[in-house]
Amino acid sequence: MADETGGAGSGAEGHTDQVADNADNADNADNADNADDTVEATGAPGETGGTDSTGGDGGGTDGGGGGTSGGTTSGTTGGKAGTGGTGDGKAGTGGDGGGTDGGTSGTDGGTDGTDGGTDGGTDGDGKQAARARRIAAWHGSERTLAHGPAEGRIADWLAALALTADDPSYGGDGWVDVYGDGVVEELERRVAALLGMEAAAFFPTGTMAQQIALRCWAGRTGVPVVAVHPLAHLEVHERDAYLTVSGLRAVRPTSEPRPPTAEEVRDLDEPFGTLALELPLRDAGFVLPSWEELVAVVEAARERDAVVHFDGARLWECTAHFGRELPEIAALADSVYVSFYKSLDGISGAALAGPESLVAEARAWRHRYGGQLFQQWPAALAALAGLDRELPRLPSYVVHARVVAEALRKAFTAAGVGWSRVHPEVPHTHQFQVWLPYPAAVLDEAGVRLAEETRTTLFRRWQEPGPPGLAMTEVTVASPALEWTAEDVTAAVDAFLARVRELMRRDG
């Protein structure tokens, strides 16, 4: 589920378009997964793993790096304040990000003193002022690749939900749900049908859905061991919940920053009951196996008498890469988790789909875990709207992401950037990573200035998951990006890099 990259639009009219007409998330994120403070900790391409982003331990629920069910919804800004950055942009230390629905390592827990150079530090009021400045700049942009959920105003969300509240296809009578009936049941039916599964259950967070799925499968197989990639959301962004809450243990088919192969699964030297596959593997760069590789990996797990669980937080956008529809993809697995806010512009929430007996057991555990909420109609309504309005558009985003990624690569080269990387070179989904050889704080400030001065948002938050001075951001291509030509991307990169170089000269 992850990370790094659907959000609210700009202003009441823009957000109504964005939610009712459905704009993006990632990058988990998180969707994609490109909200304020949404980038989860990520291993550099070619490395075996990532560390939590500087600044905080991500104590919020449904959060990003170090938090649970990370992704692209920014949350409250509570938590301990970080120590102050200096006026020249040097990093302050981050707080603990104690807010809910947090982003990277706890919302606004601090990312390398990002706004220290302009806002005089990241502690106390300065940190809040820096965040407000970023959001105002993004919200005021006329051009962006994707809207982030941090930009949404409560009134805009309520107005958008009101447009769908009486739609008979969204649950019938327009009444709120009580403990998951009505509109929530309709959402569950829709998800099960879309995935070709017998049943589905709504969960308030993806972390809860995944932990319960693994717990149920461990009980059924009698083997409390999960084969999982070390960069998977289960490992990086859920605080070892499978271990500390359910008493499960992990084995790792590979530590390479790519999905495991069939041979690696076959060669595991101890039994495992469940193979958990994150599709796409967000922290490795939103990467996917080929269809043939995925089929082979699943067959290898069957040969080991294991069940297969898909962490499909971003499964919705995988159809273009695989060349298969959702039911055929989901049919490979015994259970599938999907998210409603990472790519569908929802508010929150997830679903676990699978056999009727498994889903019934999962509902019982959902109650025990505290997930049987009294009312969930806002999240359910937004999810249904996303399924109708955003899901059909995702393939077009994937296609255009390839245009944007190629334009970025060429623009960095033409501008004489010493080293840069777009990863993967040809995106597998509508999200990908961009790496540049500058401090994250400088890139953050340059991005905010670009938005303030030209009303164009190209990149959002950056982090330094590898060596100092080498920064990464996650890019999400959604409906606003469809208007961008390759030439538009080049012009935005040139304007962005001009501000980067100005800041570098200033800081010596």
Residue-by-residue pLDDT tens, the chain, 508 positions: 333 333 333 333 333 333 333 333 333 334 333 344 343 333 344 333 333 333 333 333 333 333 333 333 333 333 333 333 333 333 333 333 333 333 333 333 333 333 333 343 446 788 999 999 999 999 999 999 998 877 888 998 999 898 888 777 776 577 899 999 999 999 999 999 999 999 999 999 999 999 999 999 999 999 999 999 999 999 999 999 999 999 999 999 999 999 999 999 999 999 999 999 999 999 999 999 999 999 999 999 999 999 999 999 999 999 999 999 999 999 999 999 999 999 999 999 999 999 999 999 999 999 999 999 999 999 999 999 999 999 999 999 999 999 999 999 999 999 999 899 999 999 999 999 999 999 999 999 999 999 999 999 999 999 999 999 999 999 999 999 999 999 999 999 999 999 999 999 998 7
Q: How far apart are CA 475 and CA 29, in angstroms?
A: 10
User: Would you say 60 and 20 are in contact if contact means Cβ atoms under 8 Å apart?
Assistant: no
Phi/psi at 8 (5° precision):
-85, 150
**DSSP codes of every residue in 345-367:** --SS-EEEEE-HHHHHHHHHHHH
Q: Give the distance, in angstroms, between the CA of residue 199 and the centroid of all CA atoms in the same chain.
A: 25
Helices (H), 140-289: 154-164, 183-195, 206-221, 233-236, 241-244, 262-266
Q: Which strand ranges, in their side-by-side order, compose the sheet holding 421-423?
A: 421-423, 431-436, 471-476
> Under the phi-then-psi rule, with left for phi > 0, alpha for psi from -120 to 50, and beta for the rest, what region is 80?
beta
Name the one residue in this structure whose structure tokens are 């649970």: 68
Q: How far apart are CA 382 and CA 218, in angstroms?
A: 33
pTM value is 0.78
In single-letter form, the type of residue at position 242 comes to Y
Tokens for 376?
């969930």
Q: Sign of the C-alpha dihedral, residues 103, 105, 110, 112? A: negative
User: Would you say 51 and 107 are in contact if contact means Cβ atoms under 8 Å apart?
Assistant: no
Query: DSSP assignment, residue 7?
Result: -
In single-letter form, the type of residue at position 503 comes to L
Tokens for 144?
């962006």
> How buried is residue 318: exposed, middle or buried, by Cβ count under 10 Å (0-12/13-18/19+)?
buried
The pLDDT score that the predictor gives to residue 173 is: 72
Task: Write the CB contacts of 322 (distance below 8 Å, at least 6 apart in sequence).
Answer: 288, 291, 294, 329
For 448, what's the count of Cα atoms within 13 Å in the CB-facing half-sphere? 22
User: Would you say 92 and 83 are in contact if contact means Cβ atoms under 8 Å apart?
Assistant: yes
The pLDDT score that the predictor gives to residue 202 is: 98
Name the one residue in this structure whose structure tokens are 């990241």: 122
The pLDDT score that the predictor gives to residue 167 is: 78
The domain locations on the chain are 174-389
User: Would you say 117 and 438 are in contact if contact means Cβ atoms under 8 Å apart?
Assistant: no
Secondary structure class of 388 (helix, strand, coil) = helix
Q: What CATH number has the domain spanning 174-389?
A: 3.40.640.10
